[in-house]
Amino acid sequence: MFGSLGNMASMMRQAQQLSGRLEGLSESLRAKRATGSAGGGMVEIEVNGLQEVLACRIDPGLFGQGDRELVEELVRAAVNDALAKAKQLHADAMRALMGGVDLPGLDQALAKLTGGEPSDG
């Protein structure tokens, strides 16, 4: 019984440590940038670490082709690329934030966030 109370107290201390670190996480992620592209750079989407779209650049030559469906497909692909990179920024920031704190299931949760495989630590 006392062993489980000790584990609970340890987890509470870890949670308190993380609470202080989490406060700055959003601002840090807001400042980070990721760019997704498609069509050999003809479409670029810039997002921040919070997955907010900041900019959309489309090569003017795409409009001259008159192929609306191509533009739509390239924008979709570039957005998905940028969001995948933003998710990775978020996962990396969470790993750095945890800084050695061992929370069961963290690697699996971060892998789910990024759509990847759990890391070995």
Nearest to 37 by CA among 67, 79, 83, 90: 79
Rounded Cα–Cα distance for residues 118 and 54 (Å): 29
Counted domains in the chain: 1
Q: Tokens 């406060």 belong to which residue? A: 23
CB atoms within 10 A of CB 82: 26
66 in a structural domain: yes
Would 85 be classed as within a structural domain?
yes
Assigned token pair, 84: 């995948």
The C-alpha atoms of residue 108 and residue 117 are separated, in whole angstroms, by 8
The tokens describing 58, both together, are 């489309």
Residue 13 identity: R
Q: Determine, yes or no, domain membership for 57.
A: yes
Q: Taking the complete model, does pTM exceed 0.85, yes or no?
A: no
Q: What is the pLDDT of residues 10-35, one digit of tens each?
A: 778 777 776 767 777 888 999 999 99
**Is 56 among the domain residues?**
yes
CATH number for 93: 3.30.1310.10
pLDDT in tens, 53-89: 999 999 999 988 889 999 999 999 999 999 999 999 9
Angle at 21 (CA atoms; ends 17, 24), nearest 5 degrees: 160
Core vs surface per residue 15-29: b (16+ CB within 10 A) or e: eeebeeeeeebeeeb
- The residue-averaged pLDDT of 26-54 equals 95
pLDDT at residue 117 tops 80: no
